[in-house]
Every structure is written in C-alpha cells, then in structure tokens.
Chains A and B, each alone.
Chain A
Amino acid sequence: MLDQIISTFETGSGFWNPLVWLTALVIAFLIIYIVRGFGKREYKKGTDQTQAFLSGNPEYEKDKMHVKANNVYWGFTESLKSVYNFFGKMHTGNVSDYVLWFVIIMGILFLIFGVI
C-alpha cells in the first residue's frame, strides 16, 4: 500500500515523485533559513525604521496606497482592447442570446453531420 502511494508518476518526458519533491522542499527551506540568517538584527518595531520612505514626502492614506483591482493589468486590457470589445459584445447578458448561441451551435453541428 505505502509503496503504491509513493510510486513515481511518469508522463514520458517528466516525472513526479513525492519523496524527491519533499527532499527538494526541505533543501529549499534550509537555503532560505541560511540566507535569512544573513539579515540584519537591528530592526526594531515602533521606531522610524518601520515608516515607509517616499522620497521624503508624507505617506498617503492607507486607502489611497492600495492599488485597486480595476487598475491591475491595465496595460494588458488596453492593448488588447479589440479582443475585449469582441468578447464584451458576446456577453450581452440577454437570455434570448444565450439560447440563440445554442441554436447556432446546433445548426453548425447539423451542417457538419448532414453535409458530410
């Protein structure tokens, strides 16, 4: 049973073994721990060290500091505007259109199977 559980999973070009992976994970954590040991020990809470430094300007309110979801990936959506316009037009939110897509798919399938 146990050897069945930890047996290797192969796809032909890659493999996955839980034991190998766990060993890798442990080694990675060890490295992280060692690197963490190099850090400075002078950090103190509640002093000026914890303040954000914005070129000497005062910090904004917390609400304004947070990047809203609307603005994330703005560049991507802006550059692919045409694609998004097309997809947006597809999603009309009208029940009749949903059913119309069904009729269209049915028609295409009928054509495929009927003509050939």
Chain B
Amino acid sequence: MSKRNFAAVIFFTIVAVFLFFTALMMHPFGIFDEDNQPEMDDHIIDNSQTETGANNAVTGVVFDYRGFDTLGEATVLFTAVAGVILVFRRLKK
C-alpha cells in the first residue's frame, strides 16, 4: 500500500467512526419527543391552506414559504444550461 493510501485509510476510519456516532446520536428515526416537537413544520402543516391556499403543503413550502430558495434553484438550472451551452459553443466566429 502506498503512503497516500495508508493515510487515506487511517483518516477515513476516523471520519467514519465519528460520522457513525453522529448517526447514533441523531434523534430516533420517526419519533418526536415532547421536548423535540417540529414547531416549524407543524406551523406549516396547520397554516399552509389558510396562508397560501395550497392543499399540497410541500408545494406551499416550495413556492411560498421558501419561494426564494426555489428562485435560487431555478437559477441553478438556468446557470447549468448556460454553462453547458457555453462549454459546447463553437469557438470560431
């Protein structure tokens, strides 16, 4: 094993151990305790119909509550298209 791969294996082990501990320390999957209620999401579920008029709460989040993120996301797609067209353009006039 080369020196590089040796270092890589060692550090990957460290990172892996810590990340697995992260997984164990997260709140239990699918269970929300008394002191760990998802207040933001409950607010959205309760109010998405009256505040945005959308029956689909996810669409309510995507286009209303976090609409600015969606603008960013649309921009990312626009950027990628512009980038791909730029990269594959003809170089000579």
Chain A residues near B (Cβ < 8 Å): 97, 100, 103-104, 106-108, 110-111, 114
- Whether A103 lies near B15 (C-beta < 8 A) is yes
**Inter-chain pairs besides A103-B8, A107-B11, A107-B15, 7 sampled, C-beta below 8 Å:** A100-B11, A103-B12, A104-B7, A106-B15, A107-B10, A108-B11, A111-B14
- Whether A97 lies near B14 (C-beta < 8 A) is no
CB-defined interface of B1-17 with A at 8 Å, one 1/0 digit per residue?
Answer: 00010011011101100
Q: Is the interface of A mostly helix, strand, loop or mixed?
A: helix
- Could you say which of A100, A106, A107, A110 has the most chain B C-beta atoms within 10 Å of its C-beta? A107
CA distance A11 to B38 in the complex (A): 50
CA distance A104 to B15 in the complex (A): 9
- Whether B15 lies near A97 (C-beta < 8 A) is no
- Whether B11 lies near A104 (C-beta < 8 A) is yes
**What residues of chain B lie closer than 8 Å to A111, measured between beta carbons?**
14
CA distance A114 to B17 in the complex (A): 11
**What residues of chain B lie closer than 8 Å to A106, measured between beta carbons?**
11, 15
- Whether A107 lies near B4 (C-beta < 8 A) is no
**What residues of chain B lie closer than 8 Å to A100, measured between beta carbons?**
4, 7-8, 11
- Could you say which of B8, B11, B15, B18 has the most chain A C-beta atoms within 10 Å of its C-beta? B11
- Whether A110 lies near B18 (C-beta < 8 A) is yes
**What residues of chain A lie closer than 8 Å to B11, measured between beta carbons?**
100, 103-104, 106-108
**What residues of chain A lie closer than 8 Å to B18, measured between beta carbons?**
110, 114
**What residues of chain B lie closer than 8 Å to A104, measured between beta carbons?**
7, 11
What are 5 A-B pairs at a CB distance below 8 A?
A103-B11, A104-B7, A104-B11, A110-B15, A114-B18
- Whether A110 lies near B8 (C-beta < 8 A) is no
